[in-house]
């Protein structure tokens, strides 16, 4: 598999995980739990940083 295809598949997987994490954030009344959402965003930023490191991106 080419490096580009591997990167694309990793990005898609990361996006799918991000979507699942967002869907799992609890809702209280009409509001999302903001601390949970902040945790989800931090987790996604970590995933992105790991992909950048793995694929030597800046």
Which pLDDT tens digits describe the chain residue by residue (58 residues)?
Answer: 788 899 999 999 999 999 999 999 988 887 878 899 999 999 999 999 999 999 887 6
Instruction: Tell me what pLDDT residue 32 has.
Output: 79
Structurally, the chain folds into a number of domains equal to: 1
Instruction: Tell me what pLDDT residue 58 has.
Output: 64
Long-range (24+ apart) CB contacts under 8 A made by 4-11 are 6/55, 7/51, 7/55, 10/51, 10/54, 10/55, 11/51
Domain with 16, as residue range(s), is: 3-54
């Amino acid at each position: 598999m080419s490096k580009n295809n591997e990167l694309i598949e990793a990005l898609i997987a990361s996006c799918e995980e991000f979507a699942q994490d967002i869907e799992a954030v609890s809702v209280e009344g009409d509001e999302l739990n903001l601390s949970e959402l902040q945790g989800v965003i931090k987790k996604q930023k970590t995933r992105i940083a790991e992909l950048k490191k793995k694929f030597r991106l800046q």
